[in-house]
Structure 1
Amino acid sequence: MFSCVGFAASSSDTPLHPFSFERRETGPADVRIDIRYCGVCHSDLHQARNEWGGTVYPCVPGHEIVGTVAEIGSDVSRFKVGDLVGVGCMVDSCRQCASCKDGLEQFCEEGLVGTYNGQDRHGRGNTLGGYSGAIVVDQDFVLKVPENLDLAAVAPLLCAGITTWSPLRHWKVGPGQRVGIVGLGGLGHMGVKFARAFGAEVVLFTTSASKVEDGLRLGAHEVVLSKDPEAMAKERGRFDFILDAVAANHDINAYLELLKRDGTLVQVGAPEAPMPVSVFSLIMKRRNFSGSLIGGIAETQEMLDFCGEKGITSDIEMIPMDQIETAYERMLRSDVKYRFVIDMKTLPASV
């Protein structure tokens, strides 16, 4: 075991605070990573405040992790000390079920092991995440980061990036398709970038006129204000695919109506309340309404490699560790363009 410093929530209603804890030593198949940057995901806030239920305290959030390999186990062959690497939303799975064997560990039938607030499969307790100075992860869940990219701006690719990449790839979004992206937040801005890079005609839907200029800058060919009934009516039946990245409650039927026959809407945003769906929106045009959850390890590596080739990263705002609660409150107001990233140099050396 070795001592590690991080920031943790001790309960659902107390601010995150400096926290000293023990990490396991590097095992034969493990990679020890000195964390340099960690993205701030909305799910970090949900978990820290127990808004989804089931949070185990103390909780050290963070699953958009990038850093440098500090030590490798005796059986590790794909990484060496000094490599730039990343860790996303999961650090283990059963590896034996059909989903795992298909490279879709996120759908593990026994349940993936989350990077934080997950139960270690080897009896080592609750997992603690990337708001910390270091982490030890099995090599099979460590990713190589292209050296030509801004490392801090890579961090959100490990969640926001793969969450949007996976459905766009699975449904084969590409040239000749008209694709809608709903919402311009941490997820949505990556959806716009990827859909444009894949060659689709990209239309951003937003409730905010202040985001029109940014939507066009990020790669949208057109921006539609979804609060404008006339603008929405003009888009009915025109889309092959829509990616909905909105986590707030909203009318999903307004977007289902925009799909062509056999078009697909995929939900990646996670509103708290169930969303009523008009069956007639589906059956009259044989439309599809689906969902998607991050991506498997191989798929995530494919995304990172593509980003390295195309020079794609997230738009970020860097914060020091002690500003995390302020970042959470700003995130709730959608006051970030478009992902907060914590500079781990600002962690205290000791507690």
Structure 2
Amino acid sequence: MKTIGYAAQNATSLLSPHAFERRALRNHDVAIEVLYCGVCHSDLHQARNDWGFSTYPIVPGHEIVGRVIDVGPGVRRFKLGDTVAVGCMVDSCQHCDQCHDGEEQYCREGMTQTYGSPDRLTGEITHGGFSKHIVVREEFVMSVPEGLELSRAAPLLCAGITTYSPLRTWGVGPGSRVGVIGLGGLGHMAVKLAVAMGASVTVIGRTEAKAADALKLNADHFLVSTDEAAMVKANSSFDLLIDTIPVRHDVTPYMPLLDVDGTLVIVGQIGPIDEQPTLPLLFGRRRVAGSLIGGIAQTQELLHFCASKNVLPDCEMIRMDQINEAFERMERADVRYRFVIDMSSLPTAPGTAA
């Protein structure tokens, strides 16, 4: 299938129109017209090769909402016209223990990411949702429940599941005390989801700058991490801390905030953090953990949860040709809180499908 997207040709180039071929449908493939695609901070990192493993040309985008336009002969779960979603992965081995347990993101043979990964059969590099169309294995396509506003649902496929998964893993519910460190794309979703689960939620930031925003998101409290007296007063007052800070940082100041058996879960930074002394870990049986997105079943669960609770990210809609400006604004943290591309703004190139 001929299609068009926006791609980075190298680590320093702007994203620009890029015509390419999607694979012919395999037996269990679903072809999707992309309607909306969220813009994740990892899209910026991968376009610029900040993590050192990008392959060019790269078409980013792994927060995808679309419409089924064709299916392979073996597909049973979807039909033409269905509204569907695709997240951060499009394949896995499907036979290891993690895949059998619905944790495909931890596949023993490695998941196939939505873009920038070799296809398991051909070795061709996958391309993401900054494009008119995408072809995905049926098992990695999710249904969009009625009631979800399509133009705002896309960021649930990464920002949503990245924060929902640790909240579920650590059993957050009524009576839970949750702290959210940082209030950006991930942080604001962590707040909304934890509130919807019935938890008492505190946002933790370095200054008061986002205190009003936190309360508008229905957080119960705002804690300034540079206020030594306030931090001491908050010692042992959280069961779970969701750390959404996307750069190298020191987690040491946050550890005393955890109660006995409390956990700080890192979901923002991919790379090093500063050296962590063991004293606050030992004196409180506290933990530092990490969490990577969620499995397909849990992501589908998230979509139904958000539809039932009316939980949606705060989004700013952009055209496809505004993506480079959006990347620049993301670097300045100038977005509240997630960009979403209206893919109808991407013109169909000559010779491509409509």
TM-score bracket relative to the smaller structure:
over 0.9
Alpha-carbon contact 1:247-1:272 (below 8 Å) kept = no
| Partner-residue secondary structure (3-state), 1:136 | strand
Name stretches of at least 5 consecutive residues in structure 1 with no aligned partner. none
2:100 is matched with 101
Shift of 1:219: 2.0
Percent identity over paired residues: 53
Question: 1:271: Cα distance to partner?
Answer: 5.1
* Residue 345 of structure 1: aligned partner: 344
* Amino acid in structure 2 at the alignment position of 1:224: L
SS at match of 1:109: coil
Deviation at residue 333 of structure 1 after TM alignment: 1.1
| 2:232 corresponds to | 233
Structure 1 match to 2:208: 209
Partner residue, 1:183: 182
State the one-letter code of the partner of 2:122.
G
Residue in structure 1 matched with residue 278 of structure 2 by the alignment: 279
- State the one-letter code of the partner of 2:339: F
1:253 alignment partner AA: T
1:7 aligns with 2:17: no
Q: Deviations over 1:114-148 (max 9, x none)?
A: 00001100115000000000001011000001121
Q: Find the counterpart in structure 1 of residue 127 from structure 2.
A: 128
1:207 to partner: Cα distance:
2.3
Q: 1:106 to 1:18 in 2, by over 3 A?
A: same
Counterparts of 1:80 and 1:226, CA distance in 2: 50
Aligned residues: 350
Contact 1:18 1:348 in 2 (8 A): no
Give distance in 2, aligned partners of 1:349 and 1:44. Answer: 23
Partner amino acid for 2:268?
A: G
Q: How does 1:191-270 map to 2 (within 5 A)?
A: 191-270=190-269
Local SS of the residue matching 1:242:
strand
Alignment-derived partner of residue 332 in structure 1: 331
- 1:68-79 counterparts in 2 under 5 A? 68-79=67-78
Q: Secondary structure at the match of 2:165?
A: helix
Q: Kindly indicate whether the alpha-carbon contact (under 8 Å) linking 1:28 and 1:75 is maintained by their aligned counterparts in 2.
A: yes
Contact 2:44 2:327 in 1 (8 A): yes
Equivalents in 2 of 1:269, 1:324: separation in Å? 22
Q: Does the Cα contact within 8 Å between 2:250 and 2:273 map onto a contact in 1?
A: no
Q: Match for 2:264: what amino acid?
A: L
Answer whether contact 2:29 2:136 (CA < 8 A) is retained: yes
Q: What is the SS of the residue equivalent to 1:257?
A: helix
Looking at structure 2, the residues matched to 171 and 231 of structure 1 have their Cα atoms a distance apart, in angstroms, of 26
Q: Which moved more, 1:112-121 or 1:267-276?
A: 267-276
Q: Distance in 2 between matches of 1:272 and 1:262?
A: 25
Name 1:65's counterpart in structure 2: 64
* Whole-angstrom distance in 2 between the partners of 1:208 and 1:274: 21
SS of 1:37's equivalent? strand
Q: Which residue of 1 aligns with 2:146?
A: 147
The residue matched to 2:162 in structure 1 has which SS?
helix
Aligned CA RMSD, in angstroms, stands at 1.1
The one-letter code sitting in structure 1 at the alignment partner of 2:152 is A
- The amino acid across from 1:306 in the alignment is F
8 Å Cα contact 1:246/1:271 also seen in 2: no
Letter in structure 1 aligned against 2:160: G
One-letter amino acid of the counterpart of residue 110, structure 1: E
Structure 1 residue 36: deviation in Å? 0.5
Q: CA deviation at 1:348?
A: 2.3
Match of 1:20 in 2: 19
CA distance in 1, matches of 2:202, 2:73: 49
1:160 is matched with which residue?
A: 159
Structure-2 separation of matches of 1:189 and 1:127:
29
1:111 aligns with 2:86: no
Runs (5+) with no aligned partner, structure 2 = none
1:181–1:191: 8 Å Cα contact kept in structure 2? yes
Distance 1:220 1:159 in 2: 21
